[in-house]
Amino acid sequence: MQRRQLLQSALALAGASAAPWAFAQSDYPHQPIRWVVPYPAGGGTDVLARTVAEALRGPLGQQIVVDNRPGASTNIGAQLVATAKPDGYTLMSADNALLAFNEHLFSKLPFHPEKDFTYIGGLSRFPLALVVNPAFEAKTLKDFLAYARANPGKLNYASPGNGSPHHLAMEMFKHRTKTFLTHIPYRGAAPALQDVMGGQVPCMFLDLAAGLPVIQAGKVRALAIGAAQRVAALPDVPTLAEAGVPDTEVYAFQGVVAPAGLPAPITQRLNAEINRALAAPDVVRRMKDFGMEALPGTPEQFRAMARAESKRWGEIIRAAGVKLD
């Protein structure tokens, strides 16, 4: 009898201590949600976050406030989120830099992308294309490779900065093709693209989220695209594999993470609502305008993809000797 009373008391105490948190989960969300974007306002990552956040506002019944925290190759925003309370009220846009590149580019990070975040789900991916100034003599990828091999080290390429997907895409391309091009890093995609269009630098890898309009307008010429299949918006542009450079798929991807320890019911709720938002007509249209491909799926699928990308790009980063500290 005494043992039964002790057991009942213990269960009652456990239920009492769990009740507030269980209520918090069942009542989620009951206050506005902060969505951290580790880039300045106005870029592709920011626009996508705001587009999806607006689509989530109705189903979740709460305002989602986008908080831009740029700097240090996403590390400033990432550290903020990694140390936040795992209650579902702090989310973050997470891309290649945070989830695949930085653990290889920096000797020390104040967080680990696999251990310090809860993976909620993917948002989008978009391929990068190798583009040249229209006046550049290479009209095809075969011509480009012939020129690069005849002029080792003399062919410059632009990027938005050291360690960017555009920079590392070219490093992978160089590794696969055994060519040597000289890197000219810029402070952002806009000035890099401006100089390629102006002819100051002949080429770069350009993401379609920013580059599709200028390619279609003929301001740069796309030689090949780093996708598994041709892109519907650019049907005449071959993939890198079709043009003779296999195993060189280069995408920028984005998804959503939260602090580690986010309760499973909240993770599942957010994942389900994000997947539904990605199918909403306004979101589909906006993503199409940016050349993005929706990336719905489970949290486990998003984590597996990100870790596979980290392994793949880690090999390229080590081979190229790229470091950001």
pLDDT digits (tens, 9 = 90+) for 66-98: 999 988 889 999 999 999 999 999 999 999 999
What the block records as the tokens of 297 is 């799926």
Amino acid letter, residue 195: D
Alpha-carbon radius of gyration of the chain: 23
Identify the H or E element spanning 192: helix 189-198
User: What's the rounded Cα separation, in Å, for the pair 44 and 267?
Assistant: 25
Class of domain 8-125+253-320: alpha beta
Region 305-323 average pLDDT: 93
pLDDT (0 to 100) of residue 308: 95
User: What's the rounded Cα separation, in Å, for the pair 4 and 1?
Assistant: 5
User: What's the rounded Cα separation, in Å, for the pair 262 and 269?
Assistant: 11
Q: Is the peptide bond before 299 cis (omega within 30 degrees of 0)?
A: no
Region 240-244 average pLDDT: 95
Residues in contact with 300: Cβ distance below 8 Å, sequence separation at least 6, in sequence order = 119
User: Secondary structure of the chain: what % helix, strand, coil (to 5)?
Assistant: 45, 20, 35
Strand partners of residue 118? 258
Question: In the chain, which residues fall in CATH 3.40.190.150?
Answer: 8-125+253-320
pTM: 0.83
pLDDT digits (tens, 9 = 90+) for 95-115: 999 999 999 999 999 899 999
pLDDT (0 to 100) of residue 289: 77
Instruction: Look at 16 and 126; give whichever has higher pLDDT.
Output: 126
Q: How far apart are the first and last CA of the chain?
A: 66
Amino acid letter, residue 169: A
Residues in contact with 194: Cβ distance below 8 Å, sequence separation at least 6, in sequence order = none
Three-class secondary structure of residue 222 per DSSP: strand
Question: In the chain, which residues fall in CATH 3.40.190.10?
Answer: 127-225
CATH no. of 127-225: 3.40.190.10
pLDDT digits (tens, 9 = 90+) for 7-57: 454 444 444 444 444 445 568 999 999 999 998 887 778 889 999 999 999
Residues in contact with 45: Cβ distance below 8 Å, sequence separation at least 6, in sequence order = 37, 38, 39, 93, 95, 254
